[in-house]
A and B are shown apart, each in its own frame.
Chain A
Amino acid sequence: MSFLVLQQVSKGFGPPEARREVLCGVDLSVKQGEIVAIVGYSGAGKSTLLHLVSGLLKPDAGFVTLGGRVIEGPGTDRGVVFQNYSLLPWMTVAENIRLAVDSVFPDWTEERRSEQVDRHIDLVNLTHARDRRPSELSGGMRQRVSVARALAMDPQILLLDEPLGALDALTRGTLQEEISRICRASGKTVVLITNDPDEGILMADRILPMSAGPGAILGPSFPVVLGPTRDRRALNQDPRFKALRAEVVAWLLGPGARPAVSVSRKLTLPDLEPEDLEIPRPLIGGRRRPRRRSEERRETVDLTP
C-alpha cells in the first residue's frame, strides 16, 4: 500500500496564451518509511513537484494523496526543508524551532514543548548554537536547523527540496551523511529532491530521474541496492554504486535529456529597393519610408525531439 501517491499530475504556469507546462502526467508512489530521491536537471520542475506535495501549489490535473487523503493545502503532517533554509532571521535557532512546535502542538504543556525543541536541536548537534541567529551560522548549520524544524513538527513525511544545493562540495558530503542518518533514524517517509545523482544514491532507497522540462515526466525507478549505512569513501570504489550511477546518468542524458533545440535565423541580403516618391507622406505620423526587405526579421525555430 503506497503512502504518498501522485497520479497523472500536471502543472503549468503563466497565462493561457504563454503557458509553460512544467509537469506533464507525473506518476509517483512512495511506500511508508521509504526514502525516495528525485534527481533531475535544474529548472526541470522538481521543486514544483515537491510544492504540489507540500500543498503550496495545487495540480492542474491529476491528484496527490497522502495516506489515502487528497492534499488540499499545506499541513503540519508534511515537514518541508526549503532549498534556501527559510529560517526567520530575527529569531534564534531555538525560537525558529519553537515557532513550529507551538503551531503544531498547541495542547502540549510548556515543558513538553521546550523539551521537544531541545531534543531536536540536540539531534542535529547544534546545542552550542541554540541561542544564535541564523546570520551567525554557516550554511551547513542553517540547513541542519531547517531539518530540525521540520522534524520537530513530527510530520508523517519529510520533504527535502535540494537541501544541500547551496553548500560547498565538502560540507555537502558531511551533511549528506548526517541528514541521511537522521532521516533513517526517524523512520519517516522522505522525498528528497536533488540535482546530484551521487547524493541521491548516497541518501535514498530509490532513485527516480526526472526528465528535462518543459513537460517533465519521471523516469523508471532505480532501486538502490546498497545497505542503509553507506560510507562515501568506500562507495566511490563500489561497483554497484558505479553501475547504478551510470544507469541513472544514462537515462538523464538519453531519454530524459532536454530536447535538442535549434534556432536558425533566415538571413536576407541587403537589397537596394528604390523609394517610390509618388506615395504621399503625411507630415506627422505614418511610416517614414517604405519597409525594406532586409528589415524583415524572421526566425524559424526547429524543435527536433
Chain B
Amino acid sequence: MKKIHWDAVLMPLVGVTLTLLAWQMISGRTVIRNLADGTVEEVRLGWVQDLPGPLQTWEKTRKYVVEPFAKREELDQGILRFTWYSLVIVAKGYAIALILGTPLGFLLGLSSTFSKMFDPIIQVLRPVSPLAWMPLGVVLFANSGKSANELAALFTIAVCAMWPTVLNTAVGVRAIPQDYLNVARVLKLSRTQTLLKIMIPATLPYMFTGYRLSLGIAWLVIVAVEMLTGRIGIGNFLWNEYNNGLYTSIVLCIVTIGLVGFSLDRAMSLLERRFKSIL
C-alpha cells in the first residue's frame, strides 16, 4: 500500500483554514442597533465593511450550492448548472482555437520565412485583452441572427486562447532533434509520413503544454465574454448579482471559477505528463 503523505493533505487544509479565518476577521458584519427614537437601524461594521465573510456567504448562497443543478428561473439556477453552460461554450471556442492554432504553429515552426513574416503580427495580437476583441466579434457577427451572440463569444475565446498553442507548437517543431529528421531522410519517408510518424509525435509534449495554457486562457475569457454578451453562464450570473448588489454571490462565483479552472488545469497536466513520459 502506498504511504499517505500526511503533510500533503494536512498542510493545504491548514492553509485553507487560516485563509478562512483571516477572511472572517477582515470582512464586515451586519449589526442591528436600536436607536433612541425606537427605530431599528442596520449597520455594517468591520475593516472591510462591504466584504461578506465566509459564514455569511455560505448562508446567503446555500441554495445555489446544495442544489447545484436546479433550474428555478432563467437567472436563478444552481451554480454548477451555470458553470456547465459556460463550459460548453468554452469547449467549443477552445476546440476552434486548437484546430486553428496547431497547424499555424506547425507552419511557423517549419518555415523560417513564414515565421519571419507572421511572428511580429502574432506577438502584437497576443497581448490584446478579450475585452478588446469582444466588441469586434459582436460587430463581425451582428448579421447572423439568433446565433450572433454565440458566434461573437466563440470568436473571442478562440482568438484569445489560440496563441499559447501556436507558440508552443512552433517551439516544439523547432526543437525536434536533428537525429529524428535524419532517420526520416535515411529511411526516405515521404513528407506526409515524416509529418505523421516523426514530427507530430516528437512535438506532442510541447503541443500539450500549449493546449494546457490555452485552456486556462479560454476559461479566463469566458467570464468577460458572458458579462458583455449576456449569455447565460457563470460570468453572466456574477454580473447580474453585482447589479443586484448581492455580493455574496460574487464571492461564490469567484470561488467556483477558481475551482473549475484549477480542475481543468490539473486534468490537462495529467494528460501532458502522459505524453511527456513517452519521450
Contact = CB atoms under 8 A, between A and B. Distances in A.
Q: Do A and B bind each other?
A: yes
Interface in A255-299: none
Interface stretch (B90-98, B139-147, B185-193, B209-217): B185-193
A237 interface: no
B198 A88 contact: yes
Interface stretch (B4-12, B17-25, B37-45, B176-184): B176-184
Nearest to B179: A86
B188 A76 contact: yes
B201 A153 contact: no
Interface residues of A, number: 21
Interface string A79-122: 01010101011100000000110011000000000000000000
Contacts of A12: none
Interface in A97-152: 99-100, 103-104, 133
Question: Which residue, B180, B185, B186, B278, has most C-beta atoms of chain A within 10 A?
Answer: B186
A64 B74 CA distance: 78
A72 B149 CA distance: 58
B278 A75 contact: no
B71 interface: no
A76 B278 contact: no
A88 to B, nearest CB: 6
A86 B183 contact: yes
A61 interface: no
B197 interface: yes
13 contacts: A54-B186, A55-B185, A73-B185, A74-B186, A75-B188, A82-B182, A86-B179, A88-B183, A88-B197, A88-B201, A90-B201, A90-B204, A103-B187
Contacts of A73: 185
Contacts of B204: 90
Contacts of B183: 82, 86, 88
A56 interface: yes
Given A86-B179, A86-B180, A89-B278, A74 B197 contact: no
A80 B187 CA distance: 9
Contact of A56 (B185, B189, B278): B185
B132 interface: no
Contacts, number: 47
A153 B193 CA distance: 17
Question: Which residue, A73, A84, A86, A89, has most C-beta atoms of chain B within 10 A?
Answer: A86
Give chain B's interface secondary structure class. Answer: helix
Interface of B: 179-180, 182-183, 185-189, 193, 197-198, 201-202, 204, 278-279
Interface string A48-74: 000000111000000000000000011
Interface in A140-173: 153
A103 B198 contact: no
Contact of A99 (B185, B187, B278): B187
Contacts of A86: 179-180, 182-183
B264 to A, nearest CB: 26
Contacts of A133: 278
B210 to A, nearest CB: 18
A158 B123 CA distance: 48
A99 B179 contact: no
A84 B179 contact: yes
Given A90-B278, A103-B193, A76 B187 contact: yes
Interface string A166-209: 00000000000000000000000000000000000000000000
Nearest to A81: B186
